[in-house]
Amino acid sequence: MNTIDKFNSHVMQSYGRYPLVMEKGSGRRCTDENGREYIDFGSGIGTNSLGYCDEKWADAVCAQVRTLQHSSNYYYTAVQADLADRLCNITGYKSVFFCNSGAEANECAIKVARKYSFDKYGKGRHTIITLVNSFHGRTIATLSATGQDVFHNYFFPFVEGFVNVIANDIDDLKAKLEDKSVCAVMMEYVQGEGGVNKLDKEFVDAVYELCAPKDILVIADEVQTGVGRTGKFLAGEHYGRKADITTLAKGIAGGLPMGVCLVNEKCSGVLTPGTHGTTFGGNPIACAGGLAVLDTIESDGFLDEVGKKAEFIKGELEKCSEVAGISGLGLMIGITLKTKDAHDVAARALEKGLLILTAKKKARLLPPLNISYDELKDGLKILIEVLEE
């Protein structure tokens, strides 16, 4: 039986997959089982931040595999301490909780926000405002937080205590913040799965300015925007804002499963022994991958280059007659198409040797952060050919 048939016989069919059996990768290119190469403008949904099997990253991960693969959180490891220390130094946060995915990082943020409020104000102040069209994950609590009905079918009943505000609607925000049960506002600075839509600066400012006097926490879901994706380590830096709680995942460990919940001083004592945990959280191998990613991202000029590459891509795409508009921030790019269906474009690009993503009706690009201009040119040539076909 071939791989696709075997796969489909035994793996639950919860994903629509492209007919590509990926075998290996190197740099910004991967190879299928027939030896055909593809340029990757998707990074495994923003996760392979340094492309495939980056040498220094692979060396660090392999060395850790041969030293200590897992310890559980009953014990300490130097590699987890080092990553926590580095992340706090880079971001200015006080402490971190390590987990294994974006949804789990957001679960942690939700628990921290509710317990912070419970500890200080008692029962009943538990509501978390999230935005219409947001995406926060697939667990029942993070689905409850997600402001998109399309993900809510079948899985009722949901967790109570989530209310949605229309993104960029300050009046709606003000009205919902009147509710005395609100303890936090959670938002993505750029709604990724929702269509690569950047929040207005005025709205983000209003969130911070309206929440602070009421001691309502701000949670930034930077699972997709974080770790250099937008040309800054955190997308909040573009807005001159730092949330009380920020969540990371996707790119943090260069393709290994890791989620991080970062909290400021006032939230750092909220989780106490026994209140939260996860067996694999802070796994030494993922931490070693994370440290290698930070080494590269923190190297001189790296993040400025991310911004420049994003401008280059936009400049090239704007010349294309099929492109109606470009949204996003840094190397998180949404392309509104004039006539073509984004899914057809992605399928056709794959046939021609380029991997891209979609978000709602847009074509979406999340290339590896260390992609070269030559690779960008090669990939864009294919994409523009497909768009102009």
Ligand X SMILES: Cc1ncc(COP(=O)(O)O)c(C=O)c1O
- Regarding 219 and contact with ligand X (CB under 6 A), the answer is no
Q: Note whether 364 binds ligand X by CB under 6 A.
A: no
Under the binding rule (CB under 6 A), the answer on residue 102 touching ligand X is: yes
The yes or no reply on residue 192 touching ligand X (CB under 6 A) is yes
CB 362 → ligand X: shortest distance, Å?
14
Check if the beta carbon of residue 319 is closer than 8 Å to that of residue 291: no
Residue 57 or 189: which CB sits closer to ligand X? 189
Instruction: Using alpha carbons, select from 241, 207, 199, 146 the residue that is nearest to residue 329.
Output: 199
Nearer to ligand X, 98 or 135 (CB): 135
Question: Does 42 sit near ligand X (CB under 6 A)?
Answer: no
**CA atoms of 234 and 262, how far apart (whole Å):** 12
Residue with Cβ nearer ligand X (101 or 283): 101
Note the residue count of the chain. Answer: 389
Residues between 231 and 260 that touch ligand X (CB under 6 A): 249
278 is in an annotated binding site: yes
Query: Of the candidates 199, 223, 248, 261, which one interacts with ligand X according to CB under 6 A?
Result: 223
Q: Closest distance between ligand X and the C-beta of residue 377, in Å?
A: 28
> In the complex, what is the shortest distance from the CB of residue 287 to ligand X, in angstroms, rounded to a whole number?
17
Residue 103 or 369: the one with the smaller Cβ distance to ligand X is: 103
Which residues between 129 and 168 bind ligand X (CB under 6 A)?
135-137
221 touches ligand X by CB under 6 A? yes
Is 127 flagged in the annotation as binding? no
Least separation in angstroms between residue 316's CB and ligand X is 25
- Distance CA(253)–CA(205), nearest Å, equals 30
CB nearer to ligand X: give 223 or 386: 223
Q: Which residues pair with 130 in a beta bridge?
A: 164
Binding positions for ligand X, 172-191, rule CB under 6 A: 188
Instruction: Give φ, ψ of 260 to 5 degrees.
Output: -135, 135
Q: Residues 98, 259: contact at Cβ < 8 Å?
A: yes
CB 253 within 8 A of CB 293: yes
Q: Which amino acid is at 298?
A: E
Q: How far is the CB of 194 from ligand X (least distance, A)?
A: 9
The amino acid that residue 23 corresponds to is E
Q: Are 234 and 228 in contact (CB under 8 A)?
A: no
Q: Contacts with ligand X in 256-285 (CB under 6 A)?
A: none
Between residues 234 and 380, which has the closer beta carbon with respect to ligand X? 234
**180 vs 330: CA distance, rounded Å:** 37
> Residue 138 annotated as binding?
yes
Token reading at 371: 């992609």
d(CA 137, CA 92): 26
104 is in an annotated binding site: no
Binds ligand X (CB under 6 A): choice among 224, 283, 358, 370:
224
Q: Which is nearer to ligand X, 136 or 238 (CB)?
A: 136
User: Per-residue x/- marks for ligand X, 292-321, CB under 6 A?
Assistant: ------------------------------
Instruction: Provide, rounded to whole angstroms, the least separation between the CB of residue 301 and ligand X.
Output: 27
Minimum CB separation of residue 374 from ligand X in Å reads 29
Determine the interface stretch with ligand X among 22-30, 217-225, 237-245, 321-329 (rule: CB under 6 A).
217-225
Annotated binding site for N(2)-acetyl-L-ornithine: 138, 278
Contacts with ligand X by CB under 6 A lie at 101-103, 106, 135-137, 188, 192-193, 221, 223-224, 249
Annotated binding site for pyridoxal 5'-phosphate: 102-103, 135, 221-224, 279
Annotated binding site: 102-103, 135, 138, 221-224, 278-279
